[in-house]
Amino acid sequence: MTLTAVLIVAAALIGTGLYGALSQQSFVMLMMGLELILNGVLLAVIAFWSLGVGGPPRGQVLAIVVMAVMAVEMAVGFALVTAVFRRRQVDTTEKLGTLKE
């Protein structure tokens, strides 16, 4: 697989995530879009390491840390979404005026 092919897939992930994050009003779809953006960036970084430099890829620890941060971000995000829904019975961003209260 070439670097160009992997970067095209990464750009497609980033573009799809950006569209999903900006066009959807559901909290869950917004978070899924952000997750796709992070996955695309992670794929591009790993592709540059493994295919651009040559030889064995270096920096796998950074990729693992980024994936762990993404998992924590999703867990905290879903906890916030659940708390907002329980308190205000709101499931879209338009119905939520402010977080103050």
The model's confidence at residue 13, banded by pLDDT at 50, 70 and 90, is very high
pLDDT, position 71: 84
97 assigned to some structural domain:
no
Is the pLDDT confidence value at 61 over 80? no
Domains identified in the chain, total number: 1
Mean pLDDT calculated for residue range 2-10? 91
Q: Are 43 and 57 in contact (CB under 8 A)?
A: no
Mean pLDDT calculated for residue range 43-66? 74
Which CATH number belongs to the domain containing residue 64 in this structure? 1.10.287.3510
Domain range for 77 is 3-88
The model's confidence at residue 58, banded by pLDDT at 50, 70 and 90, is low
Is the pLDDT confidence value at 95 over 70? no
Q: Of 47, 19, 46, nearest to 33 (Cα)?
A: 19
96 assigned to some structural domain:
no
pLDDT, position 79: 87
Cα 18 from Cα 39, distance rounded (Å): 12
Percent pLDDT > 70 in the chain is 80
33 assigned to some structural domain:
yes
